[in-house]
């Protein structure tokens, strides 16, 4: 499977920060991390948004960044949009907070942004690899919704060589207790037949591990090496970087419904 890498850069694509810049109200709300633009339109139509003390219900309304926009009595802050790519190590939870006080990925990106960013989707505690964190609610919704079919590539190390029969069954789509689990591509990594590359766009919970466990294999190591066209080339385990302009354009293009 081809892997196209780009050299990391410490630049980030952020929204303009001019106080008199006009933007659509739904974008303002989405930038504040409340929800996606589509959901923001519903809040506006439902009379749940106030601009400078007045309820606004007209879609397409434009506001200045300096305007005071309120939702549920709270003033919203149209944060600058931040996009951070992390190479997650083992033993970190992909969440903003953990009641059991285990290590979370937020500790690894603590200095990445003043804005409140959060993980897009999940990687379980023992899975390593690429994880995107952002405060762009609209993009996060696109990348995690099944209808957008965002592709992920994993390297899977298992406890014993895979048989030809099981390889073909995975290639054709294993049927699990919650339905079929189709993969886009599967390939061997090396001659030992214990390391494989698996590309898929479905995102059900623990789906890669469950595919192999269903056939009697134990997953020793699971590493996400590509996510939505982004790769971890030159990004060491536990390190992060900002998306560059080309990557951001590409990932936003991928986040369009098929």
Per-residue confidence of the chain (258 residues) as pLDDT tens digits? 444 333 333 333 344 345 567 889 998 998 787 888 899 999 999 999 999 999 999 999 999 878 999 999 888 877 778 999 999 999 999 999 889 889 999 999 999 998 889 999 889 999 999 999 998 887 888 898 888 889 999 999 999 999 999 999 999 999 999 999 999 999 999 899 999 999 999 988 899 999 999 999 999 999 999 999 999 988 999 999 999 999 988 888 875 554
pLDDT value of residue 17: 46
Active site residues: 124
- What the chain holds in terms of domains, given with CATH numbers, is 22-75 (3.10.290.10), 83-147+233-254 (3.30.70.580), 151-227 (3.30.70.1560)
How far apart CA 153 and CA 197 sit, in angstroms, is 7
pLDDT value of residue 62: 93
């Amino acid at each position: 499977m081809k892997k196209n890498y780009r050299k990391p850069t410490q630049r980030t694509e952020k929204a303009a920060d001019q106080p008199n810049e006009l933007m659509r109200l739904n974008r303002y709300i989405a930038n504040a991390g409340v929800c996606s633009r589509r959901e923001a339109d519903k809040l506006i139509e439902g009379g749940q948004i106030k601009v400078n003390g007045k309820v606004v219900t007209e879609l397409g309304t434009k506001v200045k960044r300096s305007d005071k926009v309120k939702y549920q009595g709270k003033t919203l802050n149209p944060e600058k949009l931040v996009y951070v790519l992390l190479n997650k190590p083992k033993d970190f939870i992909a969440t903003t907070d953990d009641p059991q006080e285990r290590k979370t990925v937020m500790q690894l990106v603590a200095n990445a942004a003043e804005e409140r960013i959060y993980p897009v989707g999940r990687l379980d505690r023992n899975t390593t690899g690429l994880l995107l964190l952002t405060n762009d609610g609209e993009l996060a919704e696109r990348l995690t919704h099944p209808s957008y079919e965002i592709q992920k590539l994993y390297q899977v190390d298992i406890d014993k060589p895979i048989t030809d029969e099981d390889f073909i069954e995975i290639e054709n789509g294993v049927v699990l207790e919650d339905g079929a689990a189709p993969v886009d591509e599967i390939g061997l990594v090396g001659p030992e037949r214990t390391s494989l590359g698996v590309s898929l766009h479905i995102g059900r919970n623990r789906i890669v591990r469950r595919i192999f466990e269903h056939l009697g294999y134990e997953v020793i190591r699971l590493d996400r090496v590509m996510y939505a066209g982004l790769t971890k080339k030159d990004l060491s385990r536990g390190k992060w970087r900002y998306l560059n302009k080309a990557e951001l354009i590409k990932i936003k293009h991928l986040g369009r419904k098929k």
